[in-house]
Amino acid sequence: NNFVPKRPKSCNLLFVGKNWERKGGDIAYDAFSELKRYGLDVYLTIIGSSPPIDEPGVTVIPYLDKNKKEDYDRYLKILDQTTFLILPTRAECSAIVFAEASAFGIPSIATNTGGISTIVLQKKTGHLLSKQSKGKDYAKVIQDLYFDWDHYKRLSMTARSYYENKLNWASWSQ
C-alpha cells in the first residue's frame, strides 16, 4: 500500500444521491452552510440530484453517466479532490459510493442506518451519526476532523486499505 493522503487546501464535501430527501441532501447542505458560518473554506459538490440551490461554493451536477468516458473522468477528478463524502441518508442498504470514496482514501460521514456500518467503519474509515443528527452535528464532526490532520490521515489511510482488502470487486467475488 503506497497510498499517502494529501493534506486538503480546502474542505471539499461530496454528496451523491438521486433521491435528495431520502439521501439527506438537506442535512448535507445544512452542514455545508454551518461550516461556512464557522469560516471554513468549504465547497459542496452534489451529484445525482437537482436541489434548488444556487450559491457560491455549491456545484450541482444532476447526472453523471459513469459509462461515458467524459462523465467517468469528471467523476474521478471530483473524487480526487474530495475531502469528505457526506451522505446523511435516512434509509440505505449499502451504497457503492462508500467503496468508491474509500478507493480514494476519502473518509465517509454518514448515518448509522441499514447496512452502512458494514462499509463505513466507525472512527476507522469515517464517522457514523445517528438518524436524529442535524446538519450542525455533521458540520462539527467534519470541522474537528478537518483540523486534526493526524486523525484525518488515519481515517484516510484505513479507508484506502479497507478498499484494497475488502471493498473491491475482486474481494466481493470471493
Residue 172: pLDDT band with limits 50, 70, 90: low
Q: What pLDDT is stored for residue 88 in this prediction?
A: 97
**pLDDT above 70: residue 139:** yes
Average pLDDT over residues 63-78: 97
Average pLDDT over residues 68-75: 97
Q: Greater confidence, 168 or 163?
A: 163
What gap in Å lies between CA 82 and CA 59, rounded to an integer? 13
What gap in Å lies between CA 116 and CA 91, rounded to an integer? 9
Nearest CA to 16 out of 56, 55, 66 is that of 66
Q: What pLDDT is stored for residue 20 in this prediction?
A: 96
What gap in Å lies between CA 65 and CA 18, rounded to an integer? 13
Residue 58 cell numbers, joined:
455549491
Q: What pLDDT is stored for residue 41 in this prediction?
A: 97
Task: Report pTM.
Answer: 0.94
**Mapping DSSP to helix (H, G, I), strand (E, B) and coil, where does residue 36 land?**
helix
Q: What pLDDT is stored for residue 94 in this prediction?
A: 65
Q: Specify whether the CB–CB gap between 103 and 167 falls below 8 A.
A: yes
Q: Greater confidence, 118 or 36?
A: 36
Per residue, the 3-state secondary structure of 32-68, as one string, reads HHHHHHCCCCEEEEEECCCCCCCCCCEEEECCCCCCC
What gap in Å lies between CA 99 and CA 120, rounded to an integer? 9
What gap in Å lies between CA 109 and CA 13, rounded to an integer? 10
**Mapping DSSP to helix (H, G, I), strand (E, B) and coil, where does residue 21 land?**
coil
Average pLDDT over residues 155-171: 86
Residue 77 cell numbers, joined:
477528478
What gap in Å lies between CA 151 and CA 135, rounded to an integer? 21
What gap in Å lies between CA 88 and CA 46, rounded to an integer? 13
Residues 6+ apart with CB under 8 A from 143: 35, 38, 40
Averaged pLDDT of the chain: 93
**pLDDT above 90: residue 101:** yes
**pLDDT above 90: residue 156:** yes
Q: What pLDDT is stored for residue 167 in this prediction?
A: 80
